[in-house]
């Protein structure tokens, strides 16, 4: 029998198919590699869609309500948050709830109310608190454990909630409210957005990241109320909320205002609650606050604390501004789809459109992969600006959120020695690589300063504030598109001319120590200079703030005398919170846990929640005689307002960990490969047809 010789067209087809298949696999694998580690993702690594069990004996939604009571006196907010857990099933449960908090909160107390009993929590080293809690749970005692995962991410665990139980958990915190350009603002985060958990993150195995999330459009079952009492030394000129409808009741003197949520059909706890106000006369409450400690009960003696808040000079436009290079790092991942990315486009139109012709710029778009719009920065001409904006408008948001590779690429971009560079990061911050990002920015501070725009109804403020702090810039939070022009204009004022440089604080006649911050940064915009510290002896002397303004040397004094009130007890916690934040920043920069003991000691001494200390409350009564039959329940979060299900990924069955979607670049490459296959197949057919005809 004569051997059959393969036809040339078939060889062409087989070779092309093999090459195309290889390219296809490589292209698909590349973005997936950026989104997840090798091997199957663990359920603990990613948020997932909540599916209510058919088991009627287990109450899967035990958190019934959250009530917030806020008292603001001057620049200090005292906040009490009451979470009510009720077990409407027939089986004992342990409720677990991961929730957001203020990045500036000094959490200093926890109580548990169970029927007619009040259980006061104790501060403990984190591991010891966990051991005590697990022991109480196994013994059948009702217990509550409050832990901090990040400065703005907390977790409440309540063990042995019996059928019919009504357990109220109260946590208390204080917060310093620092005005910006005469505007005061109080923010209460209500929902924790789903985090993309990068394999590069130190939190990649953290269980708290795997929070259950309600489907898009499903309202949270938890009732939410907030009321605020606002007292100021000057009359309140204006008060408003861009996030919620509110009811306002003023006194005749305009120095006391009561605020509460207005009746509304839409949920109130799927976005940050933001209240803003201005004082009469456009002034801020600059001056000095004192606290003379009562001390002695902690074995360390009395400590006295002060807080100086000094208003800086007004911004003055510099007569000659050196050209700058701007790189805009824009998040186009799945969680940005819809409102956040649409708002980001508005912001970028304002930011890029406001550049001067002498400036240069570039744009890096990132999700699971990243790309520069231009090989190098280009002059800010109208044609270049329009081309960049036109390209940005074509993106709709999909894929994962690989922030670290994007930042590394920016810092690898060459820059002329005589050019100052500003990096502007635009994102919702739904990542778990905060520590890695802060370290990267701080180590590259000599190459660029960093400004961060957080866009969304409930952004990751810890990331935005930390990036700006590490990069000697400023954070901007935009929860509504109408805020975009105002924030873009504020950014321009800041980058064009710092208000105060070479800032230092000295103290005449006042014996001070443990001053925070240890070095004062340049003042950008109209934000006051803040100095914390301790003092000994008599309250007399002066605080002196000096620096260099656009108009020349600047100096301002605040006088101190014994006649001043010395009862601002919140300063004790606020000073300790600021010192802990400074040590945490340094720890993030150096890596490891070199400052763990110092942070732990501060948390224990001042009774504060930290990454190394927790609050633990244990009832003395054994209430659950069969604790081994109890089950754990994870309270689900709603999706933040304006965030779609792409934040968790597409095409995944309910209840399972959700991988991210392929990148737009990947889908485009796949389409190209398939088009090549079709074209080559047609050519092969024509070749066979001609050979047959001949």
Using DSSP's 3-state secondary structure scheme, residue 166 falls into strand
Q: Cα(454)–Cα(473) distance, rounded to whole angstroms?
A: 13
The count of other CB atoms within 10 Å of the CB of residue 676 is: 14
Q: Cα(502)–Cα(172) distance, rounded to whole angstroms?
A: 37
Q: Cα(548)–Cα(401) distance, rounded to whole angstroms?
A: 40
- The model's pLDDT over 9-52, given as tens digits with 9 standing for 90+, comes to 554 445 444 544 444 444 444 333 333 333 344 444 678 888 88
Choose the weakest-confidence range: 172-186, 300-314, 424-438, 446-460.
300-314
Higher pLDDT, 258 or 196: 258
- Residue 519 pLDDT greater than 50, yes or no: yes
Single out the residue of 204, 209, 206 nearest to residue 98, CA to CA: 209
363 and 372 Cβ atoms separated by less than 8 Å: yes
Q: Cα(464)–Cα(441) distance, rounded to whole angstroms?
A: 12
Choose the weakest-confidence range: 10-24, 327-341, 461-475.
10-24
Single out the residue of 54, 56, 50, 81 nearest to residue 163, CA to CA: 56
Single out the residue of 211, 139, 200 nearest to residue 624, CA to CA: 139
Residues present in the chain in total: 694
- Residue 184 is predicted with a pLDDT of 92
Higher pLDDT, 228 or 498: 228
- Residue 399 is predicted with a pLDDT of 84
- The model's pLDDT over 575-586, given as tens digits with 9 standing for 90+, comes to 999 999 999 888
β-bridge mates for residue 532, sequence order: 307, 516
The count of other CB atoms within 10 Å of the CB of residue 164 is: 10
Exposed/middle/buried for residue 583 (C-beta within 10 Å: 0-12, 13-18, 19+): middle
CB-based burial, 220-252: b 16+ in 10 Å, e otherwise:
bbbebebebebebeeebeebebebbebebeeee
Exposed/middle/buried for residue 668 (C-beta within 10 Å: 0-12, 13-18, 19+): exposed
Higher pLDDT, 691 or 570: 570
CATH of domain 324-496: 3.40.50.410
214 and 50 Cβ atoms separated by less than 8 Å: yes
**What is the mean predicted confidence (pLDDT) over 370-378?**
92
Q: Cα(442)–Cα(449) distance, rounded to whole angstroms?
A: 9
Higher pLDDT, 568 or 683: 568
- Residue 499 pLDDT greater than 80, yes or no: no
- The model's pLDDT over 386-437, given as tens digits with 9 standing for 90+, comes to 999 888 888 888 888 899 999 999 999 998 777 888 999 999 999 999 989 9
Using DSSP's 3-state secondary structure scheme, residue 40 falls into coil
CATH of domain 48-282+609-634: 2.60.40
Q: Cα(443)–Cα(462) distance, rounded to whole angstroms?
A: 19
- Please name the residue ranges forming H helices in 295-449: 339-353, 382-393, 403-412, 434-443
Domain layout of the chain by residue ranges? 8-35+662-693, 48-282+609-634, 293-316+502-566, 324-496
Percentage helix, strand, coil for the chain under 3-state DSSP, each rounded to 5: 30, 35, 40
296 and 329 Cβ atoms separated by less than 8 Å: no
The residue with tokens 């993702």 is: 41
Kindly state the tokens that stand for 254: 């305009």
Residues 6+ apart with CB under 8 A from 383: none
Q: Cα(64)–Cα(220) distance, rounded to whole angstroms?
A: 10
Instruction: Evaluate the omega torsion of the peptide bond into residue 35 and state whether it is cis, within 30 degrees of 0.
Output: no
CB-based burial, 26-39: b 16+ in 10 Å, e otherwise:
ebbebbbebbbeee
Instruction: Evaluate the omega torsion of the peptide bond into residue 517 and state whether it is cis, within 30 degrees of 0.
Output: yes
- Residue 321 is predicted with a pLDDT of 58
**What is the mean predicted confidence (pLDDT) over 494-514?**
85
Q: Cα(130)–Cα(614) distance, rounded to whole angstroms?
A: 8
Single out the residue of 424, 459, 244 nearest to residue 336, CA to CA: 459
Exposed/middle/buried for residue 340 (C-beta within 10 Å: 0-12, 13-18, 19+): buried
Average pLDDT over the chain, rounded to whole?
A: 83
- Residue 653 is predicted with a pLDDT of 34
- The model's pLDDT over 220-257, given as tens digits with 9 standing for 90+, comes to 989 999 999 999 877 888 999 999 999 999 887 778 99
126 and 614 Cβ atoms separated by less than 8 Å: yes
- Residue 10 is predicted with a pLDDT of 52
Kindly state the tokens that stand for 156: 């409440």
- Residue 302 is predicted with a pLDDT of 87
Q: What are phi and psi of 160, to 5 degrees?
A: 55, 60
Share of the chain above pLDDT 90, in %: 51
**What is the mean predicted confidence (pLDDT) over 360-389?**
92
- Residue 374 is predicted with a pLDDT of 92
- Residue 197 is predicted with a pLDDT of 83
The residue with tokens 């989104």 is: 35
């Amino acid at each position: 029998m004569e051997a059959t010789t393969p036809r040339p067209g078939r060889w062409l087809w087989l070779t092309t198919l093999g090459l195309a298949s290889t390219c296809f696999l490589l292209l698909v694998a590349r973005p997936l590699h950026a989104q997840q580690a090798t091997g199957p993702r663990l359920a603990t690594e990613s948020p997932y869609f909540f599916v209510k069990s058919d088991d009627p004996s287990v109450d899967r939604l035990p958190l019934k309500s959250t009530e917030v009571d806020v008292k603001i006196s001057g620049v200090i907010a005292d906040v009490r948050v009451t979470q009510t857990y009720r077990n409407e099933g027939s089986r004992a449960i342990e409720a677990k709830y991961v929730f957001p908090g203020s990045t500036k909160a000094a959490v200093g107390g926890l109580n548990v109310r169970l029927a007619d009993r009040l259980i006061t929590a104790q501060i403990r080293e984190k591991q010891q608190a966990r051991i005590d809690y697990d022991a109480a749970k196994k013994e059948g005692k009702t217990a509550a454990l409050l832990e901090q995962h990040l400065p703005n991410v907390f977790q409440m665990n309540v063990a042995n909630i019996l059928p019919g139980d009504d357990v109220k958990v109260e946590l208390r915190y204080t917060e310093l409210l620092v005005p910006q350009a005469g505007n005061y603002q109080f923010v209460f985060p209500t929902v924790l957005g789903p985090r993309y958990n990068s394999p590069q993150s130190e939190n990649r195995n953290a269980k708290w990241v795997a929070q259950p999330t309600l489907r898009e459009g499903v309202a949270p079952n938890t009732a939410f109320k907030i009321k605020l009492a606002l007292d100021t030394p000057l009359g309140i000129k204006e008060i408003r909320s861009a996030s919620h409808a509110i009811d306002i009741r003023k006194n005749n003197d305009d120095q006391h205002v009561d605020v509460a949520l207005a009746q509304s059909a839409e949920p109130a706890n799927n976005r940050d609650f933001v209240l803003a106000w201005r004082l009469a006369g456009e002034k801020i409450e600059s001056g000095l606050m004192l606290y003379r400690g009562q001390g002695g009960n902690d074995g360390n003696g009395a400590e006295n604390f002060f807080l100086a808040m000094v208003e800086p000079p007004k911004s003055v436009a510099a007569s000659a501004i050196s050209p700058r290079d701007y790189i805009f790092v824009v998040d186009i991942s799945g969680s940005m789809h819809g409102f956040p990315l649409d708002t980001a486009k508005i912001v970028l139109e304002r930011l890029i459109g406001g550049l001067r012709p002498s400036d240069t710029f570039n744009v890096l778009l990132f999700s699971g992969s990243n790309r520069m719009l231009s090989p190098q920065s280009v002059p800010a001409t109208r044609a270049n600006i329009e081309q960049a904006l036109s390209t940005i408008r074509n993106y709709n948001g999909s894929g994962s959120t690989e922030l670290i590779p994007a930042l590394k690429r920016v810092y690898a971009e060459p820059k002329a020695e005589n050019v100052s560079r500003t990096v502007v990061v635009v994102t919702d911050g739904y990542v778990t690589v905060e520590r890695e990002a802060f370290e990267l920015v701080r180590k590259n501070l000599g190459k660029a300063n960093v400004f961060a725009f957080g866009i969304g109804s409930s952004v990751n403020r810890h990331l935005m504030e930390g990036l700006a702090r590490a990069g000697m810039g400023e954070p901007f939070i935009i929860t509504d598109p109408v805020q975009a022009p105002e924030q873009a204009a504020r950014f321009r004022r800041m980058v064009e001319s710092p208000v105060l440089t070479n800032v230092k604080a000295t103290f005449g006649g006042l014996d001070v120590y443990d001053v925070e911050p240890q070095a004062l940064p340049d003042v950008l915009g109209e934000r006051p200079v803040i100095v914390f510290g301790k003092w000994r002896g008599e309250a007399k002397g002066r605080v002196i703030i000096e620096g260099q303004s656009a108009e020349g040397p600047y100096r301002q004094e605040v006088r101190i005398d014994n006649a001043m009130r010395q009862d601002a007890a919140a300063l004790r916690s606020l000073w300790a919170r600021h010192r802990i934040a400074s040590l945490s920043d340094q720890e993030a920069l150096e890596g490891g846990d070199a400052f763990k003991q110092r942070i732990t000691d501060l948390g224990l001494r001042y009774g504060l929640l930290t990454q190394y200390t927790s609050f633990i409350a244990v009832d003395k009564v054994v209430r659950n005689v069969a604790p081994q039959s109890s089950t754990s329940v994870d309270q689900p979060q709603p999706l933040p307002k304006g965030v779609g299900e792409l934040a968790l990924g597409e095409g995944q069955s309910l209840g399972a960990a959700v991988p991210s979607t392929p990148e737009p670049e990947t889908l485009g490459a796949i389409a190209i490969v398939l088009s090549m296959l079709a074209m080559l197949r047609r050519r092969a057919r024509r070749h066979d047809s001609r050979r047959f005809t001949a």
